[in-house]
């Protein structure tokens, strides 16, 4: 099936891609560190004001289904999600660990950069083993604001077809 997740060549030269990759790496190091520290209230700091964020399966993406496990339009919804997770939700205590692969820089236009980064999300419950909770790819569009990159759009597309119980924290 030729689809929207099919391989597409990058439009960025290797030298420029290496520069941008270093910047995106710096972004991800902090993004993952905040989430891996269970500091979900810092999660909105990585998004621009009109950012969109969605977690969905590859199955949905292939079928062009719009639904999200988490579906946020705009920073306010992202903050609401972070507040709800931090203050209103009941779930067993857990630690998450994001392990990222090599970022592909796909496009640069003005102050926006598009890229893809594979991830494996490990979960460890109290007295539990560490299990692969999700495996997938971040499909991102970053926007440069001053010195920083911020997420303008993050589509977390996971290969995992069956989720263990629940996904408590953002990815």
Q: Which residues bind another protein (CB under 8 A)?
A: 55-57, 59-60, 63, 65-74, 76-77, 79-81, 83-84, 87-92, 127-129, 131-133, 161-168
**Token pair in block for residue 110:** 């003005």
Least separation in angstroms between residue 81's CB and another protein is 7
Least separation in angstroms between residue 63's CB and another protein is 8
Least separation in angstroms between residue 79's CB and another protein is 5
> How many other C-beta atoms can be found within 10 angstroms of the C-beta atom of residue 61?
20
As a whole number of angstroms, the distance between CA 152 and CA 127 comes to 38
Q: What size, in residues, is the chain? A: 171
Indicate the residue among 113 and 121 with the shorter CB distance to another protein.
Answer: 121
Q: Mention every residue, 6+ apart, whose C-beta is less than 8 A from residue 154.
A: 47, 51, 52, 53, 54, 138, 139, 140, 141
Least separation in angstroms between residue 129's CB and another protein is 6
Q: Look at residues 35, 24, 117 and name the one whose alpha carbon lies nearest to residue 78.
A: 35
Tokens 């891996």, located at residue: 36
Indicate the residue among 16 and 49 with the shorter CB distance to another protein.
Answer: 49
Least separation in angstroms between residue 153's CB and another protein is 15
> How many other C-beta atoms can be found within 10 angstroms of the C-beta atom of residue 28?
20
Indicate the residue among 52 and 115 with the shorter CB distance to another protein.
Answer: 52
Q: Look at residues 114, 112, 54 and name the one whose alpha carbon lies nearest to residue 78.
A: 54
**Token pair in block for residue 103:** 């970022």
**Token pair in block for residue 128:** 């539990």
């Amino acid at each position: 099936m030729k689809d929207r997740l099919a391989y597409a060549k990058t439009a960025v030269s290797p030298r420029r891609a290496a520069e941008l990759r270093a910047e995106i790496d710096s972004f991800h190091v902090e993004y993952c560190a905040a989430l891996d520290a269970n500091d979900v209230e810092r999660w909105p700091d990585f998004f621009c004001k009109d950012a969109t964020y969605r977690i969905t399966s590859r199955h949905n993406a292939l079928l062009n289904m719009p639904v999200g496990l988490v579906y946020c339009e705009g920073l306010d919804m992202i903050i609401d999600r972070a507040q709800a997770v931090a203050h209103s939700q009941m779930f067993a205590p857990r630690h998450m660990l994001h392990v990222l692969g090599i970022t592909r820089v796909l496009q640069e236009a003005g102050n926006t950069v598009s890229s893809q980064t594979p991830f494996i999300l490990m979960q460890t419950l109290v007295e539990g083993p560490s299990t692969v909770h999700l495996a997938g790819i971040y499909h991102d569009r970053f926007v440069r604001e001053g010195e920083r990159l911020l997420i303008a759009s993050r589509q977390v597309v996971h290969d995992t077809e069956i989720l263990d119980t629940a996904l408590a924290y953002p990815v």
